[in-house]
Amino acid sequence: MLRSRMLRPLGRSFAHRTVRASRPYNGTTTGPHTTYFQPPPQPSGSPRRIWRSILLGSTCVGIGAYAHSWLYDLPFLGIGDGEEMVDGDMQRVEADILGAALAEASRCLSARNTPVMDLDMCEMVLQPASGYAVTATAISHFTQLASNLPCEDTFSSGAYTYEKDPAKAWCEWGLFDGHAGSRTAELLSQILAGAVGEKLWDEGCFDRPYKPNDTFIIDALKTAFKKVDDDIVKHAMELVRSGQPDRATIVANIAMALSGSCALFALYDPVRHVLRVANTGDSRAVLGRWDGQKYIAHAMSVDQTGFNEQEVERLKRDHPEEDVVDPKTGRVHGIAVSRAFGDARWKWPQEFSKRAHELFWGPSPRPDRMIKTPPYLTAEPEVMETVVEVGERPDFLIMATDGLWDNMSSDDAVACVQLWLDKNKPTTFLEQPQQSPEVLSPPNLLKPAGQPPPVWQQPKVFPPWLANSFTPSYSTPAEVSGEDEDVYYDKDERCLKWKVSPKHFINEDAHCGIHLVKNALGGKRRDLFTGIMSVQPPLSRNVRDDITVHVVFFGVDGQQAIKH
């Protein structure tokens, strides 16, 4: 959910606006459904019809309240003063969370009632969680499909605008894949882009002449990431050490350090056409580049797990007397990634993890035999760079959390987007009549030091159903009958699995993010797709992880959309 405001003139030479998803009734659910050995009594009427009615009712209420606050410049849900925030960023965050809670009711209903998901109901789930983020030089199609309750993925997108020229704005897109809860990922979606922009501005990176793999800019990105993680982990450790009598304050404030999150952050300089991707964890970025005949996948990140030989060597250097990585599972003392934000149990001395557990209801510490020379994890990213091609067939970037890559290879993801481009244009939705208010969030996250710093600028964001004037194509019974060798029971994981390949792809969605997710979960195999979508928490986590996707198209002109 995002508070809606018209774009107002900026009195500064450099502006930085935050980005949220435009989703009138999207979000994450608030709690799991209680299961019983005997099924609860069924209501009189069709459960499917009741579920649809409640979903439609909650959606209409949410959209109505949202539109009222936008039209009259009023605070949404009574929080904030409309024009500016009294307490700055924290109050904005609280408003966003409370507003999203109304939208999240629809997903919670599906978890409680386990509806039979046909194609139409799958669209009802995917569309509100998707949208478009528009800057002057690039357009992102983003979507999210939750599996956890609440969803542990979050994301961001925006632009650092200076000299009041949107064509020079550096664009950013971020994905934050949380684990052991969503608190760290939620915090990163609120503050990381601002911290990166502040560091780049302080170091003069925006006007710096281009130099391939410029260590000056790369070091600035790494410093910003590490500074944010240090603030999270060390602040929480000091609270645990303090032993203050205000237990509630300590419990609430150490939560961001006890959970963890990966971070994938792309930064694009449209003047020099330079794309830099900073990665901490196992989310992945892949560039699609035309080779004269088709789009080819080029890695823009490397998964940072115990299966990455460079990561294993790094951990051996840092902890020479310990067996940190399990070679069979690739886990680092039990955790699946070798770099992450938060995850204090792998960074604190053991006595602080024990104290947090014993006095403040923190998670159980790792065994003493494991935690000898922390920290074992770092938030320092690895940064990859390329010069983007923006000609007749411009590059595109796929960013996704590991929920997508669990089911789809990088090559197949690029082929899937190329299939979509054969029938669609990234800007088609801009040609549709706009039926919902533009979404802009103006808070300045950075404080000036000398000259005014960048302000994270949110692109215009549109819901995908504005462009959904298409005729779906459906598979025939013959196509889904019989045995499918690409759907099989995995004896090791004890779960029904499926393989994804271009032969299963279908091209029916005007939104590229939805197109990618649907094909990763079955494509034209309708029975498989609707079956996967029908599995609700907590069982859904055994079938698929949270999936969040940015598909960024370069070489497009979004200036008219920004202007109007």
Render pLDDT for 435-485 as a digit per residue (tens, 0 to 9).
443 333 333 333 333 445 555 555 555 555 444 433 444 444 444 444 578
Q: What is the pLDDT, as a whole number, of residue 298?
A: 98
Vertex 254: Cα angle to 248 and 259 (nearest 5): 130
Contacts of 155 (CB under 8 A, 6+ apart): 21, 142, 144, 173, 174, 175, 176, 189, 548, 550
Q: What does the pLDDT read at residue 535?
A: 94
| Other C-beta atoms lying within 10 Å of the C-beta of residue 531 | 18
Smallest CA-to-CA distance from 145 within 157, 128, 120 is with: 128
Contacts of 26 (CB under 8 A, 6+ apart): 1, 100, 103, 104, 128, 129, 144
Which residue stretches of the chain have pLDDT < 70? 1-103, 432-483, 561-564
Could you please report the per-residue DSSP string of 418-431?
HHHHTT--TTGGGG
Q: Alpha-carbon distance 118 to 383, whole Å? A: 42
Predicted pLDDT at 470 = 39
Task: Name the maximum alpha-carbon separation found in the chain.
Answer: 70
Q: For residue range 206-219, list pLDDT tens digits in order.
A: 999 999 999 999 99
Specify the pLDDT at position 103. Answer: 54
Asked whether the beta carbons of 397 and 287 are under 8 A apart, the reply is yes
Give the span between the Cα atoms of 15 and 2, in whole angstroms. Answer: 19
Rounded CA-CA distance 311/300 in Å is 17
* Residue recorded with tokens 């067939």: 393
**378 token code pair:** 């770092």
Closest by CA position to 287, among listed 520, 551, 555, 517: 551
- The Cα–Cα gap between 465 and 469 comes to 8
> Burial code of 78-96, b = ≥16 C-beta within 10 A, e = fewer?
ebbeeeebeeeeebbbebb
Residue 296: beta bridge partners?
289
Q: Under a CB-based contact definition with an 8 Å cutoff, are residues 355 and 344 in contact?
A: no
Name the phi and psi angles at 549, rounded to 5.
Answer: -135, 135
Alpha-carbon span 124 to 117, nearest angstrom: 10
Query: Residue type at 150?
Result: P
What dihedral angle (degrees, nearest 10) is formed by the CA atoms of 341, 346, 349, 352? 70
C-alpha distances out from residue 370 to 240, 342, 401, 540, Å: 21, 18, 28, 31
Specify the pLDDT at position 23. Answer: 35
Position 34 scores a pLDDT of 25
Only one residue has tokens 């699609």, namely: 288
CA distance 226 to 263: 12
Cis peptide before 367 (omega within 30 of 0): no
Whether 556 and 139 have beta carbons less than 8 Å apart is answered as yes
Coil, strand or helix at 524: coil
Task: State the distance between the two ends of the chain, measured CA to CA, in whole angstroms.
Answer: 22
Count the neighbouring beta carbons within 10 Å of the beta carbon of residue 489: 9
The Cα–Cα gap between 16 and 457 comes to: 4
| Distance, CA of 459 to CA of 128 (rounded, Å) | 18
- Secondary structure (3-state) at 552: strand
Under 8 Å between Cβ of 230 and 256: no
Question: Prior bond to 150 cis, omega within 30?
Answer: yes
